[in-house]
Structure 1
Amino acid sequence: MTERHSSAAWAVTEAVRRVETGELPRALCRSVGEVLPVDGVALSLLTDTPARQLLCASDDTALRLEEIQFTVAEGPCVTAASEGLPVVGRNLRHRATPWPFFGAAVAEELPQVGAVCAFPLRVAGQTLGAMELFTHDDEGPDGPSMRAGVQVADAVVRALLPARTELFDAFGSPRWQPADVVRAHWSSTHQAVGVVAATYGTSVESALARMRAEAFRTGRTLAEVTAAILGRPPAT
């Protein structure tokens, strides 16, 4: 069993060994999806904080799962990042979950998603973010695949750490691809949070909560609320 787990992690490491830094997050998503029995992958940093940063999403479904969790501030990724342990949400089409807002949004918007599991991205006892996987199957990955996922998450961290300084410019802005998606789901959001905080004289946390409430109330994504605040067309 250990050999199986190690081979999955090794395959991820090898797949991104010669990848250019700007393509690294997207290459990691692709390779994780190839070595684990899942239908989609997303990676994020600082997942359970207002400074959350989307690294990559393998497809529109994975991206929407990330958007939902960032909007409602709950879900498998948020719990995995905050608790530092793998988390699974199964049978999302029919079963109540520990995350009522997340569960309701997924059941309504993403009926193709049967299960979501998330693994913390950890180094030296600190959680950097989360790796999210979803399946169309209601039960999600089995026990051996979950154990493999833990080692794959470790491989993702090992691949990201050497590139951390290159992934951001001198001002802390992200430099990875696709640039429009990264801006819409990270840097633009935090610019909009600053605008709202200044306008209402509130903290960053309160400004983000106001934006989340607006997104939830109107059924828009947080990226769309952000675009409206900044007067920009939303990224497509």
Structure 2
Amino acid sequence: MVAVSDRERERIAAVLADAVRGAEPGEVPERLCAVAVRLLPVSGASVALCGEGIPVPLSASGPRAAELMEMQATLGDGPCLWAAETGAPVYVPDLRGGRDAVRWPVFAQQAAAVGVRAVYALPLGDRTACLGTLDLYRDVPGELAGDEVRTAQLVADVLTAALTALPLGEGDGLRPPGEEPWLSALATGHDVVHQAVGMVMAQLGVGADDALARLRAHAFAQGRTVFDEGRDVVGRRTRFDDRD
């Protein structure tokens, strides 16, 4: 592997610092997604935080990256969720062949259908305290080179530092009165899913895990995201019962 020189590391760090300079808290994830696409041979990037049973999508470099993030949240499976669960990087060089296609067959098929052939998921934090993941997507199969892996990790490290330093919301003492917490504004879909899970629990008399599984299955069967399905449940446009 080719090591990143001190000069190159300094250059990358300067690019990352420039990307977030003057940014509002809610803009930081989006800016770092954009700079990851500039620095690496990838076509898209997204960021999600670990949530209870479902990832919290924060930002994406574009519509397709956002779709892939929501796809894994809907399926409850995929390399990005695995990276969050294990706290270790997951590099998937080819979604159409080898063990990667077998490991996550449904996600692999759906991702390939929208033109994505490789996924690289890096945990934010470490094995003992994983905050979420930086997820990188590429249109062509292949491994990241050694220097590219190091660059991706540097982006993930900066993103981790930025997220842990940002005021998260209620009770942090750092937000002006009356201003909406930046994390709440970005994670509204996640909150809706949790509300929907509670309603499905009440309708079916099941536990939270089973309710979320039912919500995901119904969304997948309808070709929708779990976030869209959750909005319909909360809006009382969709109801679950024993015949569902």
Aligned to 1:188: 192
Matches of residues 152-231 of structure 1 in structure 2 within 5 Å?
152-165=155-168, 168-169=169-170, 175-176=181-182, 179=185, 182-184=187-189, 186-231=190-235
> Cα offset for 1:51?
4.4
Residue 24 (structure 2) pairs with residue 20 (structure 1):
yes
Aligned to 2:111: 106
| Aligned-partner Cα distance in 1 for 2:184–2:191 | 13
Structure 1 residues 42 and 232: CA distance shift in structure 2, 3 A: farther
2:39 to 35, 38, 49: 35
Deviation >4 Å, runs of 4+: none
TM-score by length of 1: 0.84
Overall identity of the aligned pairs, in % = 35
| Aligned-partner Cα distance in 1 for 2:181–2:143 | 33
Structure 1 residues 188 and 142: CA distance shift in structure 2, 3 A: same
Q: Which ranges in structure 1 are unaligned for 5 or more consecutive residues?
A: none
Structure 1 residues 76 and 14: CA distance shift in structure 2, 3 A: same
Work out whether residues 111 and 117 of structure 2, in 8 Å CA contact, stay in contact via their aligned partners in 1. no
| Aligned-partner Cα distance in 1 for 2:94–2:54 | 30
1:133 to 119, 128, 136: 136
SS in 2 for 1:131: strand
> Cα offset for 1:122?
0.6
TM-score by length of 2: 0.81
> Cα offset for 1:24?
2.0
SS in 2 for 1:202: coil
What's the Cα RMSD here?
2.6
SS in 2 for 1:117: strand
Residue 65 (structure 2) pairs with residue 62 (structure 1):
yes
SS in 1 for 2:182: coil
Structure with higher Rg: it is 2
